[in-house]
Amino acid sequence: MVATTVTTTTTTAVTADPTAVAFIWTALVVVAMVILMVSKELAAASESPRARNFARLTNVGLVPLAFALFGIAAARFISSF
């Protein structure tokens, strides 16, 4: 006598709530902006030329993050209607 075994695999699709995803992205952008702004101000107050160079370079990172934050806020505002 031959015994056979049948196994069943169940997969669950995980879908994220769009508002939760937007909140996470917003929080990440805000935290990144705060970190960059604090490090920029500390570097600008330093007398080291290397630190002042870093202060100028962090401006490059702050502008896209500000646009991202504005885009996220605009998308949330538009989707609320």
DSSP state of 2: -
Write down the pLDDT at residue 16.
67
- Over residues 11-61, the pLDDT tens digits come to 655 566 777 787 888 888 888 888 888 988 999 999 999 999 988 888 887
Write down the pLDDT at residue 4.
64
pLDDT at 77 over 70: yes
Cα separations in angstroms, 9 against 6, 43, 56: 10, 56, 55
User: Distance between CA 57 and CA 6 in Å, rounded?
Assistant: 61
Domain boundaries, the chain: 18-79
DSSP-derived 3-state class of residue 1: coil
